[in-house]
Amino acid sequence: MNLVEMPGWLRGSEMGELIFDHDWTESGLGPISTWPPNLKFAVNTILLMPSAALLLWGPRHIQIYNDNYRDLIGLKHPGGLGQPVSACWPEVWNFLAPICEGVMQRRESFIFNDEPLLVNRTGTPEEAFFRLTYSPIPDEIDSFSCGASNTAGAEASAPGIFVTVSETTEIVNERAGEADRARLREALQAKRIQLLEEVFRNSPSFLYVLRGPGLVFELANEAYYQLVGHRKLLGRPLFEALPEAVEDYCRRQLAKVMATGKPFIGWELPITVISDPGQPPEKRFIDAVYLPLLEEDGSYEYVLGHGVDVTDHVRKREKTEQALFETERRFRDALEIDTVGVIFLDKDGQITEANDAFLEMSGFSREDERAGLLRCDELTPPEWMATTLRAGEELKATGRATPYEKELFRKDGSRWWALIAAMQLNKKEGVVYIIDITERKRVEQNLRESEARFRAMAEASPALTWQVNARGDLVYVNQRVMDMVGMTLEELLPSRWRSVLHPDDEPGCLAAIEQALLNRTRFQYRVRARGRGGEWHWLESYALPWFTGPDEYAGHVGVSIDITEAVKAETALRDADLRKDEFLATLAHELRNPLAPIANALAVIARPEGAAAVPHLLPVINRQVNYMIRLVDDLLEISRITSGKVELRQAPVDLAVVLHNAVEAGRPQIDGKEHKLSVSIYDAPLIVYADAVRLEQVFTNLLNNAARYTGQRGQIGLTAHREADNAVVSIRDNGIGILAGMLPRLFDMFAQERRNGVGTQEGLGIGLSLVYRLVKMHGGTVEARSEGKDRGSEFIVRLPLAASVIQGEMMEPEKTAAAPTGLRILVVDDNHDAAEVLSMLLESMGLDVHSVDSGPAALAAIPEYRPNIILMDIGMPGMDGNEVARRIREQPQFNDVKLIALTGWGQEKDRRLSHESGFDYHLTKPVNFKVLKGLIDAF
């Protein structure tokens, strides 16, 4: 290199030579001879700087740096010279980009101290910390040297950026290490403080800290609180918290310690304390040290108080002079006590002295004592000698004998019970205290005998007898309890008896027992308990408090009576009463239904033009009257059967003839619903000894039920065959089926399922009861089977076969008439006759009437027919009237339609339900036509 050719502003550094030799063509800066003065000045400046510096020139931020920066960037050199900073430092460009923009575009300056950056200058990314400054380079150097102002230049972007770099990684790491060491020191200091606090808190001697001239409590341990009483101390001045100590020595001594900084030590110092709130002040003695705590500024702000309560020691010392007198007085008082016998023994265990109480207990006199007649071996029965020897050995070994009980002889030879405790006074003498417990032993014996009598009575009692202690733990049950639950007493103790209680009854039962135990009152509760086989027993339980002595409550003694059968009977009575109520409501409904068309037909006939309708109305009236007759006949029939007034006219009967007559009797209902009936009867005659009329009644009832409870065009099957000595008749359908909960009571009187569907809510619920009773009177059985809702039903009748044959009579089937259909009044009733007659009656008034026979048909007709009034039955199968009313009221366009219920259901709950469903009026069948006409006229 020719140094003569190198300009002076590049000389004096290695990087100046490299800059001179570098090809700047690709950087866009061109030959250095063409560089502007401000760039040359800036380069010269960074080369002369003793610290790392670089220039970022032009819009591409081309790097030019000095020797120290070169040493800082590692493997980035020499490639970084003349390279855009974004290419050289891609890993930190996200950090540099906004800075470069701010300096170049807005001439802003930035300073960063200890900035952490992840850089790759050695081939491996590393975190380093830097102090960085970024400043804009002026456009013209002369403007700065002359002090001129260049407003236009200030508004334009800077040509380059002047950057200084100082790596502070080691400094930062050192600070971090120092911080870690400081945290460790703090942690150790905290541990020491915690240890000191633990020692302070748990020290057996009292410790406390006072602050300032006011002597404010800062700390106090538990021992100090025990000395002065548990009261609020911390944050309060000493003599405010302990006013009783105002006149004590400590006030002067503490002031002196705070003033001089010299500790104070005192022995057996008297202080006044109140250890329990509400108690008078108490004088105590302490050994105390007051230690001033030196602050960093040399002052004494705190005093540590430390000491020990030596009150007991002082008081014992004060009593030392009177020790002999007190000992003698103690022995004298012990000898004079009249409820406790006291005897003194020598080292050989012989009695040397006894008080009057012992002499009175044992029947000896003072003369006997002086005569030496009081000998331990002669006072003790032989069987108690071993107990006495063991107590003597314990006395010698430990200096005292554990209290024990034994019998002693009186002077007259009788025995008495004593509670004995012994203590060694010194090497030569011991003392024995004796209490006469003869009466207590007698009471205990009586109690044991009473307990034995109670146990014997409890075991003999047919009731379940039990006993709990005051905590509610079981202590006794008699054998009957264990037999019922299948558990031993040990398995039931102490609280495992609760496991046999029914989960629904357990909380209430335990709460009642707890209340009885707490109040010591009578207990009574009905609860279910699990038996040996897992069955549940209903128990009526009674218990009274149990006292072992005056006010010595020991728990409750109780008995439990198994009332399972009684509860079942109560349940059966309630169910029967409920079925009776349902029957009466159904009866009212079934009677009102035929009365409605009769009443309406009569109202039509009574009108001037009514004579023309008589031929059509008479069959309607006849059918409804016949229906009412059948209802009444069924009622009378069941009444006669249950009272035993029905006599069977039995004779040999061919079952095929009876079944044929029953099919013909049920044919109208079967054909009316277009059912398919299949009949299969055993080829050989099935002869039974029976009342043919009654059997026909049975099978007609079953066939009618199958037709009624099966939807349109259903399947009904009748089969008869022989099974051993029985004729078996099966009637099966694919109708609505029977719910599982209904099967067990299907043949009960008035039993009916309350659910919507085909054929439901018809009849009185006595037909199947009639079937059951009539079959039973014939010596047979009837059984119902169903897989559930909508799965069909099967009724199976078994009758004993007979030997002779006789033909039965066939009954004429009853024919039914088709119901005809009919001012903007819509009549909705599943009873065709009722709907037809009511429509005729309304049409005779000049009204436009249309009738439908179901809820869905009503909802379908309303949008097209647009009725003003709807007269609707409620108890319709499938969708009942209440559901139809609710759906009408859900459609605002029909809000002006008047809904009137015409129904056989007339109880208050029925009226409330119809009103809630949207009906405006509720009229019961047979309806009062004047009332109905008045409602229509009012519209």
One-character DSSP codes across 416-456: EEEEEEEEE-SSSEEEEEEEE-HHHHHHHHHHHHHHHHHHH
Two structure tokens written together for 854: 């179901």
The beta strand positions in 255-356, using DSSP E, are 264-273, 282-294, 300-309, 341-346, 351-354
Contact 473, 513 (CB under 8 A): no
Contact 56, 84 (CB under 8 A): no
Q: Do residues 653 and 783 share a domain?
A: yes
Give the pLDDT of residue 161: 94
Distance CA 925, CA 903 (A): 5
Distance CA 880, CA 757 (A): 9
Distance CA 662, CA 665 (A): 5
Q: Do residues 278 and 331 share a domain?
A: no
| 661-665, 699-703, 827-831, range with the lowest pLDDT | 661-665
Cis peptide before 494 (omega within 30 of 0): yes
Distance CA 606, CA 205 (A): 116
- Using the predicted structure, report yes or no on whether residue 728 has a pLDDT greater than 70: yes
CATH number at residue 233: 3.30.450.20
DSSP assignment of 355-373 equals: -HHHHHHHT--HHHHHTT-
Two structure tokens written together for 236: 């309060």
Q: How confident is the model at residue 814 (pLDDT cuts 50, 70, 90)?
A: very low
Q: How confident is the model at residue 324 (pLDDT cuts 50, 70, 90)?
A: low
Residue length of the chain = 939
In this structure, which amino acid lies at residue 710?
A: T
Q: Which of 374, 405, 436 is the last residue of a domain?
A: 436
Give the pLDDT of residue 552: 83
- Using the predicted structure, report yes or no on whether residue 761 has a pLDDT greater than 50: no
Residues 673-679: what's their mean pLDDT?
A: 92
DSSP 801: B
Question: Looking at the domain assignment, is residue 332 inside a domain?
Answer: yes
Contact 897, 922 (CB under 8 A): no
The sign of the dihedral angle between the CA atoms of 666, 672, 673, 676 is positive
Residues 50-75: what's their mean pLDDT?
A: 93
Collapsing DSSP to helix, strand or coil, 869 comes out as strand
Contact 117, 108 (CB under 8 A): no
Q: Do residues 12 and 152 share a domain?
A: yes
Two structure tokens written together for 841: 């009656």
- The winner for highest mean pLDDT among 10-14, 421-425, 726-730 is 726-730
- Using the predicted structure, report yes or no on whether residue 153 has a pLDDT greater than 70: no
Two structure tokens written together for 299: 């002052």
Contact 800, 726 (CB under 8 A): yes
- Using the predicted structure, report yes or no on whether residue 749 has a pLDDT greater than 80: no
Residue among 514, 478, 479 at smallest CA distance from 498 = 514
CB atoms within 10 A of CB 738: 22
pLDDT in tens, 506-560: 999 999 999 999 999 999 999 999 999 999 999 999 999 988 766 788 899 888 9
Three-state SS string over 80-97 comes to CCCCEHHHHCHHHHHHHH
Q: Do residues 673 and 749 share a domain?
A: yes
Structure-token match 């460009």, residue found: 93
Strand partners, 92: none
Q: Which of 317, 332, 356 is the last residue of a domain?
A: 317
Question: Looking at the domain assignment, is residue 921 inside a domain?
Answer: yes
- Using the predicted structure, report yes or no on whether residue 247 has a pLDDT greater than 80: no
Q: Do residues 13 and 162 share a domain?
A: yes
Give the pLDDT of residue 348: 80
Two structure tokens written together for 584: 């009466």
Q: Which of 266, 285, 317 is the last residue of a domain?
A: 317
Contact 481, 460 (CB under 8 A): no
- The winner for highest mean pLDDT among 181-195, 526-540, 581-595 is 526-540
Two structure tokens written together for 828: 């909705």
- Using the predicted structure, report yes or no on whether residue 356 has a pLDDT greater than 90: no
Give the residue, 287 or 447, on which the prediction is more confident.
287
Distance CA 931, CA 934 (A): 5
Side-chain-side CA neighbours of 705 within 13 Å: the count stands at 27
- Using the predicted structure, report yes or no on whether residue 147 has a pLDDT greater than 80: no
Q: Do residues 28 and 69 share a domain?
A: yes
- Using the predicted structure, report yes or no on whether residue 459 has a pLDDT greater than 80: no
What are the CB-based long-range contacts (under 8 Å, 24+) for 932-936? 932/871, 932/900, 932/902, 933/845, 935/869, 935/898, 935/900, 936/825, 936/842, 936/845, 936/847, 936/869
Contact 672, 714 (CB under 8 A): no
Residues 382/388/392/394 CA torsion (nearest 10 deg):
140
In this structure, which amino acid lies at residue 53?
A: A
Strand partners, 688: 653, 801
Q: Do residues 67 and 86 share a domain?
A: yes
Q: Do residues 78 and 137 share a domain?
A: yes
Distance CA 467, CA 487 (A): 16
Q: Do residues 931 and 833 share a domain?
A: yes
Question: Looking at the domain assignment, is residue 920 inside a domain?
Answer: yes
Q: Which residues contact 894 (CB under 8 A, 6 or more apart)?
A: 862, 888
Q: Do residues 67 and 122 share a domain?
A: yes
Range of the domain at 224: 203-317
Residues 848-864: what's their mean pLDDT?
A: 92
Structure-token match 């043919």, residue found: 692
CATH number at residue 908: 3.40.50.2300
Structure-token match 């089937």, residue found: 813
- The winner for highest mean pLDDT among 157-161, 384-388, 729-733 is 729-733
- Using the predicted structure, report yes or no on whether residue 758 has a pLDDT greater than 60: no
Distance CA 147, CA 166 (A): 30
Residue among 748, 738, 750 at smallest CA distance from 784 = 738
Contact 733, 792 (CB under 8 A): yes
Three-state SS string over 98-110 comes to HHHHHHHHHCCCE
Strand partners, 116: 129
Give the pLDDT of residue 929: 76
Distance CA 126, CA 198 (A): 46
Contact 813, 664 (CB under 8 A): yes
* Number of domains observed in the structure of the chain: 6
Question: Looking at the domain assignment, is residue 291 inside a domain?
Answer: yes
Collapsing DSSP to helix, strand or coil, 626 comes out as helix
Question: Looking at the domain assignment, is residue 24 inside a domain?
Answer: yes
Q: Which residues contact 920 (CB under 8 A, 6 or more apart)?
A: 898, 899, 900
Residues 920-939: what's their mean pLDDT?
A: 82
Q: What share of the chain is helix, strand, coil (3-state, %, to 5)?
A: 45, 25, 30
pLDDT in tens, 203-233: 888 888 989 888 898 888 888 888 888 888 8
Give the residue, 470 or 762, on which the prediction is more confident.
470
Give the pLDDT of residue 563: 87
Q: How confident is the model at residue 581 (pLDDT cuts 50, 70, 90)?
A: low
The sign of the dihedral angle between the CA atoms of 844, 845, 850, 854 is negative
Residues 758-774: what's their mean pLDDT?
A: 67
Q: How confident is the model at residue 336 (pLDDT cuts 50, 70, 90)?
A: low
- Give the relative orientation of helices 832-843 and 564-605 as an angle to the nearest 10 degrees: 30
Give the pLDDT of residue 362: 87
Q: Do residues 281 and 220 share a domain?
A: yes
pLDDT in tens, 401-416: 889 999 999 989 899 9
Give the pLDDT of residue 813: 33
Question: Looking at the domain assignment, is residue 847 inside a domain?
Answer: yes
Residues 434-447: what's their mean pLDDT?
A: 82
Q: Quick one: which H or E segment has residue 601?
A: helix 564-605
Beta pairing, strands 869-872 & 898-903: parallel
Q: Which residues contact 526 (CB under 8 A, 6 or more apart)?
A: 538, 539, 540, 541, 563
Mean pLDDT of the residues in the chain:
83
> Which burial class, exposed, middle or buried, applies to 911 when counting CB atoms under 10 A from its CB (0-12, 13-18, 19+)?
middle
Q: Quick one: which H or E segment has residue 457?
A: helix 438-460
Structure-token match 């748990």, residue found: 202
DSSP 576: H
Contact 841, 600 (CB under 8 A): yes
Q: Do residues 23 and 126 share a domain?
A: yes
Residues 762-787: what's their mean pLDDT?
A: 83
Question: Looking at the domain assignment, is residue 642 inside a domain?
Answer: no
Name the pTM for this structure: 0.32
Collapsing DSSP to helix, strand or coil, 566 comes out as helix
Two structure tokens written together for 61: 């931020």
- Using the predicted structure, report yes or no on whether residue 703 has a pLDDT greater than 50: yes
pLDDT in tens, 620-674: 777 677 666 666 666 655 555 665 556 777 889 999 999 988 888 788 889 889 9
Question: Looking at the domain assignment, is residue 680 inside a domain?
Answer: yes
Give the pLDDT of residue 636: 57
- The winner for highest mean pLDDT among 104-118, 376-390, 818-832 is 104-118
